[in-house]
């Protein structure tokens, strides 16, 4: 039990599909994150929610849309993705934003065809 649970573990979708990634944390943390992990690149921060308030990240394309209905749940809604969006998407949580350890989920391996 990692404390941070992500579903699904694997997802294959076409460029015209709409899908959602789900993340749930059972640690009582105040901050939740979406990261993108691609081969030979640093972990890229996509979105941060702190106390359910979103911290904007202007470099993320609008085809990625986050949602945080409460402090334990985080979603990433996907639509009209591109093949270059194929990657491992990791959810994480921490007690304090930016200054305490991140607890990662197992990730969703996304393939866009």
Sequence-separated (6 or more) residues with CB below 8 Å from residue 96: 30, 31
| Pairwise CA distance, residues 31 & 21, whole Å | 17
Residue with smaller CB distance to another protein, 4 or 112: 4
For residue 2, what are its two tokens?
């990692």
Query: C-beta of 43: minimal distance to another protein in Å?
Result: 4
Residue with smaller CB distance to another protein, 64 or 104: 104
Residue with smaller CB distance to another protein, 71 or 80: 71
Residue with smaller CB distance to another protein, 46 or 112: 46
Query: C-beta of 2: minimal distance to another protein in Å?
Result: 7
Query: C-beta of 15: minimal distance to another protein in Å?
Result: 26
| Pairwise CA distance, residues 29 & 106, whole Å | 17
Query: C-beta of 64: minimal distance to another protein in Å?
Result: 17
Burial class (CB in 10 A: 0-12, 13-18, 19+), 95: middle
* CA gyration radius, the chain: 13
Please give the residue ranges that form the binding site for another protein (CB under 8 A): 2, 40-43, 45, 48, 50, 55, 90, 97-107
């Amino acid at each position: 039990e990692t404390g941070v649970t992500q579903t699904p573990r694997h997802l294959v979708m076409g460029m015209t599909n709409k899908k959602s990634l789900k993340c749930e944390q059972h640690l009582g943390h105040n901050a939740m994150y979406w990261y993108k992990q691609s081969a030979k690149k640093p972990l890229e921060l996509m979105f941060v929610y702190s106390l359910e308030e979103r911290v904007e990240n202007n470099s993320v394309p609008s085809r990625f849309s986050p949602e945080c209905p409460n402090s334990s749940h985080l979603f990433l809604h996907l639509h009209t993705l591109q093949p270059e969006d194929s990657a491992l998407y990791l959810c994480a949580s921490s007690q304090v934003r930016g200054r305490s350890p991140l607890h990662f989920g197992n990730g969703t391996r996304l393939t866009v065809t």
